[in-house]
Structure 1
Amino acid sequence: MDNQPENSRASGVSNNANAPYGAYQPQPGNQAYWQQPSYAPPYAAPVQPQKKSRGWIVALVAVVLLFAFLFAALASCTSVMAGASSSMFGAGSQSAVDSLSEDAVGVITIDGTIDYDGSTASPEGLKAQLDRAENNPHIKAVVLRVNSGGGTATAGEEMASYVNDFSKPVVVSSASVNASAAYEISSQADYIFTAKTTAIGAIGTAMQVTDLSGLLDKLGISVENITSAESKDSSYGTRPLTEEERAYYQAMVDTVNETFMETVASGRSLPIERVRELATGLTYTGIDAIQNGLADEIGTREDAIAKAAELAGMRTYAVVSLEPESDDLSDLVGLLSSSKMSNEDLIERLKELNGNGSQH
């Protein structure tokens, strides 16, 4: 079915037909926005025009070239600085992780909508980092730092299976939101930490089909869908659903949600009927999640790291971040060096501009 919406884990909030379904979205008005006030004089003092030379342009170019040289020098010593920066700030670059000489806990951040975008909030991105931890003998356990309201059902299902298949201890550290598909993934961990105010859970599935036919009629727009079957255009939004189509989609949602509940029940060692009772589509506070069995303990990211080390039997350990490789610095240096005009030519051109231009 063309443009058929995908099913997904839900928190009870529906999205439009083209968006990932089931992503938990806090209601507007829950956050306060503050803008720093700016100060300005009550009047503008008159400025006397002054004659200025354009020789400052040459000086500016010289400064830019100096910065380009510094960036190039910095790029050449990136590999040397990576190890030092990881030990100072806890960041684990590719070289820092691969050069580990002591036991460590790897931290993987799952932030944003669960989807297929290549990040660690996607099946391929998460698996890449789990494989990296699996194959590194010094990484004895993993912490998933989760801050996500859910997303695509199939992506969540795949990611949950990867966590379940991981051979080393996995501990979840819940940030502000750990809901829907993100919670399905978390449910496969060995231990779940949450803050008291974390929005966690939201076990449920949603699908949305928008009917725009009334609006199209008011605008005088007529859409005729030529299809191979009567229900082929059921999700196009140009007509209401029939009762049969509505029942079909409801059965699809129920099937997907049953898979969700079974996954949570297995991961949390809860009876399926108990999970069914908790599958209201709504989130719970961290405090409630401890009481109903969806989480294990109130704690911070540091508590989760300590628990992961404990489960792995480590007394002393390093902490490294497992993230996709990034070549931002190399890209920046390449951009600075990609100009077809040489530095000398650029300076000469600016000198010509300075000589031919008028002064003010």
Structure 2
Amino acid sequence: MSQDTNWQQQAWQQPATPPSQPPVYYYGAPQPQPPKKSRGWIVGLAVVLCLFGLIALSMWSCTSVVSSSFDSITPGSTSVDLGSLSSDAIAVIDIDGTIQYDGTTASPEGLKAQLDRAEKSFYVKAVVLRINSGGGTATAGEEMAAYVREFSENSGKPVVVSSASINASAAYEISSQADYIFTAKTTAIGSIGTAMQVTDLSGLMEKLGISVENITSSDSKDSSYGTRALTEEERAYYQKMVDQINETFIQTVAEGRDMSVEDVRKLATGLTFTGMEAVENGLADEIGTKEDAVAKAAELAGTSTTKTVDLRPSTSNLSELLNLMSSSRVSVDDVTKALKELDNDGSLAR
């Protein structure tokens, strides 16, 4: 791993989340097979032909499903496509989990895609970011904060943040660019700070009798490999980088919250505040729920609507259909039922 590549893993106050364990698959006990019938292959062939016929007849519906975005109105309403809106609505975008490059709305590309959709929609009058994240990769947070700021400036549509249990580090950097921030009293919010982690495994490897020799083009090229301790010069170099990156974090928050750099720097302890403290020190505006955030967004947009539409990355129900067909226990009736549901409302029952 190069020094540059390792630096991409540094995060606002939160080390990268370790990879999750792979799923464990269990195979069921073998099922007794019925005696073979002399003409069973004919029945099987007929079933296969009927199945492919059903798929062909509904292909237009599957194609429509793949290309649509499957936006959904809040509970109590029916699912609709964003393009079918005929009255004002507030778009809600969930930013949940580690801020990183994974294509979800907790990533730059995922968030921007949904903000672009909100900007293009005439009936979307404002955006609520529902945030529940402890931070993540610094660069991803920087880009997402810029996208929120650009959306608000270019579209003229207000952005309001609704903080869930945690809104910290890179997630808070993103939030700071909104027009208004709601938090719960017990939300852990803030944590303005930058961290980089370098692990030294040389002592353990020595005890295990493992010898690693790094052949590098420069003395510090292997500084982040974990096979030796950092030199004092390297430690000072990395500290300077962390301080420089953290300064951009502080300036971004200061600009977004209309605070002085010095005031934000005093709050940049790397620790979170309760929602109550955040309202007092200026990192948040008001204690409130998601519904309060929606109402505020409508107020800032000059509309009386409280209707919301959830914006999320597109999902392909055709893939779900194929997964269903690949199941060893699926029947022709199951596939027929799924195709009918797909044709009726674009969703598959589970």
**Normalized against structure 2, the TM-score is what?**
0.76
Cα 1:236–1:87 change in 2 (3 A) is closer
C-alpha contact 2:69 2:314 (8 A) present in aligned 1: no
Q: CA offset at residue 171 of structure 1?
A: 0.1
Give the counterpart letter for 1:238 in structure 2. Answer: T
Q: Relative to 1, partners in 2 of residues 1:91 and 1:189: Cα closer, same or farther, differing over 3 Å?
A: farther
Q: Name the residue aligned to 1:134.
A: 119
Structure 1 segment 6-17 matched on structure 2, within 5 A: 6=8, 8-11=10-13, 15=15
Question: Alignment partner of 1:173: what SS?
Answer: strand
Q: 1:308: which partner in 2?
A: 297
Shift of 1:330: 2.0
1:6-59 deviations in whole A, cap 9, x for unaligned? 364433x5x3xxx369xxxxxxxxxxxxxxxxxxxxxxxxxxxxxx9959xx9x
- The aligned counterpart of 1:89 is 75
- Aligned residue number for residue 133 of structure 2: 148
Q: What residue is the counterpart of 1:124 in the other structure?
A: 109
After TM superposition, list the pairs within 5 Å mapping 1:322-337 onto structure 2.
322-327=311-316, 329-337=317-325
Q: For residue 227 of structure 2, what is the aligned residue in structure 1? A: 238
**1:173-200 Cα distance to aligned partner (Å, 9 max, x none):** 0000100000000000000000000000
Partner of 2:27: none
Call closer, same or farther: CA 1:251–1:87 in 2, change over 3 Å: closer
Deviation at 1:331, TM superposition (A): 1.7
Q: What amino acid is the match of 1:334?
A: L
2:265 pairs, out of 276, 285, 296, with 276
Q: For 2:148 and 2:213, locate their aligned partners in 1 and report how far apart those are by CA, in whole Å.
A: 46
What SS does structure 2 have at the residue aligned with 1:143? strand
Instruction: Please give the alpha-carbon distance, in whole angstroms, between the structure 2 residues aligned to 1:224 and 1:188.
Output: 47
Distance in 2, matches of 1:91 and 1:289, equals: 34
CA gap of 1:205–1:7, structure 2 versus 1, over 3 A, is farther
Secondary structure of the equivalent of 1:333? Answer: helix
Residue 85 of structure 1 contacts residue 91 of structure 1 at CA under 8 Å; is this kept in 2? Answer: no
| Cα contact 1:5–1:208 (8 A) shared by 2 | no
Residue of structure 2 in register with 1:98 after alignment: 83
Q: What are the ranges of 5 or more consecutive residues in structure 2 without an aligned counterpart?
A: 19-31, 333-350
What is the rounded CA distance, in whole Å, between the counterparts of 1:76 and 1:85 in structure 2? 20
1:65-87 Cα offsets, whole Å, 9 max, x none, are: 9xx99x9799988989x999945
Deviation at 1:317, TM superposition (A): 4.7
More moved, 1-10 vs 136-145:
1-10
Q: Tell me how far 1:91 sits from its aligned partner.
A: 7.3
- Rounded to whole Å, the distance in 2 between the matches of 1:134 and 1:298 is 27
Q: What residue identity is the alignment partner of 2:82?
A: V
Task: Name stretches of at least 5 consecutive residues in structure 1 with no aligned partner.
Answer: 22-51, 345-360
Percent identical among aligned pairs is: 64
Change (3 A) 1:316 1:119: same
Q: 1:239 to 1:158 in 2, by over 3 A?
A: same
Q: Is the 8 A contact 2:73 2:310 kept in 1?
A: no
Q: Counterpart of 1:241 in 2: which secondary structure?
A: coil
Are 2:93 and 1:108 aligned? yes
Shift of residue 220, structure 1, vs aligned partner: 1.0
> Within 1, Cα distance between the matches of 2:253 and 2:303?
29
* Structure 1 letter corresponding to 2:129: L
Q: Conserved in 1, the CA contact under 8 Å of 2:71 and 2:311?
A: no
Deviation string 1:293-348 (CA, Å, 9 cap, x unpaired) is 00000001110001000000001352100111111x32232344569xxx89xxxx
The AA in structure 2 aligned to 1:331 is: S
Counterpart amino acid of residue 216 in structure 1: M
Q: 1:283: Cα distance to partner?
A: 0.4
Cα deviation code 1:120-162 (max 9, x no counterpart): 0000000000000001111010000000000000000000000
- Closer, same or farther: CA 9–263 of 1 in aligned 2, 3 Å: farther
Match of 2:215 in 1: 226
Per-residue displacement from partner, 1:80-113 (whole Å, max 9, x unpaired)? 9x999945726786x5211110011000000000
Superposed CA RMSD in Å reads 3.4
Count how many residue pairs are aligned between Structure 1 and Structure 2: 295
- The correspondence of residues 119-268 of structure 1 with structure 2, limited to 5 A, is 119-166=104-151, 167=155, 168-268=157-257
1:172 to partner: Cα distance? 0.1
Return the alpha-carbon distance in structure 2 between the equivalents of residues 207 and 275 of structure 1: 21
Q: Which amino acid aligns with 1:157?
A: E
Cα offsets for 1:203-237 (capped at 9, x unmatched): 00000110111111111111111000000000001
Residues 190 and 281 (structure 1), Cα distance of their counterparts in 2 relative to 1, 3 Å cut: same
The residue matched to 2:165 in structure 1 has which SS? strand
Evaluate the alpha carbon distance shift between residue 179 and residue 130 of structure 1 in structure 2; reply closer, same or farther with a 3 A threshold. same
Contact preservation (8 Å) 1:7, 1:253: no
Greater Cα radius of gyration, structure 1 or 2: 1
